[in-house]
Structures are given as C-alpha cells and as structure tokens.
Amino acid sequence: MIVNPALARNHTLANTYQIRRTLSVSELSIVYVARHIEQGTLHVIKEFFPSALVQRKKDRRHIDCHEPGLGSKYREMLETFRSEAEILSQINHQGIIRYVQYFEENGTAYLVTEYCKGITLDQFMEEHPTEVTNDFLVERLVPVIRALEYIHSLGYIHRDVRPSNILIGEDGQTKLLDFGSAVRYQERTHTILTTAGYSPIEFYSGRSVQGPVSDIYSLAATLYFCCQGKAPIDVPKRLFHDTLEPLRDMNKVSPILTRVIHWGLAVSAQKRCASLKWFKVAMRAERLWERKFILMNGKKKLANDHKSTIKK
C-alpha cells in the first residue's frame, strides 16, 4: 500500500504556520499551502523530501533515511535546498516569487514563500489555448525576461525556466518560480539537472560553461511551447540531425519573434542569442504585428462583406 508522505492538514510548523492543503508532491519535495496562525495570511511552504532517500516516520512528522548509508547523499542534497533558500533570500523583484522564511524541523528543511493565486503557464495553455495571443505573450512573458535580467545581474542563472515554473497570477502578474536549480554561473562545476525540451546542451555536463545564454535557451523553448503547443525536441537528439520543427508556418507570429526564438534555440551556446534585449525587441515588434494582422483580417472581412452585398 502506498502511504501519502505529506503532512496532515492542520499540522503546525515552526509554531507559526498551519497546513491547509497539499499543492504538489514531487521526487524532491512536498509543497503545501499554509496559513500564518497570527497574521491569517496564506503562504506556500516547500518541504525538502527526496522520496528516493527518505521516508516519514511512524509519528507522521519526522523523516529518516531508508537506509543508514543514504545519510551522506541526503545531507549533500539538503545543502542544495539550503542554497535555494539563500539565493531566494537575496532576491527582490516583482517578477519573482517572494522569499519569506527558511527553517529546519522534523529532520528536514522548509522554505516559505508568498502565496499567489493562479495557475502555471502549462496549465493555462491546456485550459485556455485560444487565449494565448500575441498580446498574451507580451504581457505575460516580458516580466519573465525582466526577472531573468535581474537575476543575471546578481550573478545567478535560474537553470530551470519552463512553463511549469511560470505562474500566471489571477491578479495579472507573472511570477518566476522554483530556484532549486539556480547557481552562481561563475562556478566551475554544476550539478547535472535537466528537463527534456527545455534544457540546453551545456546542462548535460557538470563541467560545461554555463551562463545567462543557458537561461536564454530555456526561455526560447518556453516561447516555442507557447507558439507551437509543444516543447522543442530534446536537445541531445538535435546534435547530429536537427529535426526541430520550424515556426515559419505560424503566420500569427511575427518574423522577428520567430527568428529570435530559433536563434535562442541554437544547440551551440556560441551560436545562440546571447542577450535578452533581443527578446524584448521581438516582443515590442509582436504587438505591432498583431495589430497589423487584425487590421489585415478586418480589411479582408470588409472586402468579403462588400462582395456579398454586390452579389445581392
């Protein structure tokens, strides 16, 4: 029988937060919505829970390793989780989920962030495909571009930009989520963490040169997903025979944005778009392109209506 590893509803953490519900369970963590007991505000709490290494004890609170020999690996991974909290604590940007607190309890660690009501970009695409217009791309993804510019200026790269890590808020704001893979890009070695379709080729090596251009690949892949309805083909499959489906046939996307997306998806980092400013330029052009597209369609409709009137 599979036992739910999540903490129970109404469980109290740090004598401050009361769990209201479980948001998600992944291989590395469990995410909850919790209420601040004194203030009454809602927060998101991520519990470090690498299920391959640990299990919940019989008290349904504390955790321990499946086997004693897994302790060193657990502590190593816990350091990565602490690093996420440390990086997020240094960030203050309206396009990035806000850090609230980090604490350790129950033999593990917890990261508290602001609670924003909304759904992720991939969920939005699935539920509202017809609403993903050119204006939507500009309004919702320009804040992500600005957020990336900001973290790059601090010396960090996100390393996991993808639709499921972009929150479309009900308040109209867009937030970049999950800094679990973020690192200082001047570091010489990196943990290998990849997401099929969204990770550049340099993420498949722990000793490769990684930098802002790496996040640019993931951003371009996210835009490709918005335009094409699916992620690009995984980059290792493109090394010797590039079968990436072009965006050329999508006449609602401007030629400028199409070129910038494909430039950002270059397999080689040396041939890839190296500056986010080109994405901002392409986004500005996108608004003009949509107005032109609407105007042209409007003229065609008027012409067709006129022809119908003449025939009558």
Pick the catalytic residue from 160, 215, 234, 305.
160
- Token readout for 224 is 């490709």
Angle ∠(28,71,186) on CA atoms, nearest 5: 60
Per DSSP, helices labelled H in 98-211 are 121-127, 134-153
Question: In the annotation, is 160 catalytic?
Answer: yes
Contact 210, 157 (CB under 8 A): yes
- Helices and strands, counts by H and E, the chain: 6, 13
| Stretch (H or E) spanning 257 | helix 255-264
- Token readout for 284 is 């500005």
Per DSSP, helices labelled H in 164-238 are 212-228
29-36 and 54-56: which strand pairing? Answer: unpaired
Catalytic center residues: 160
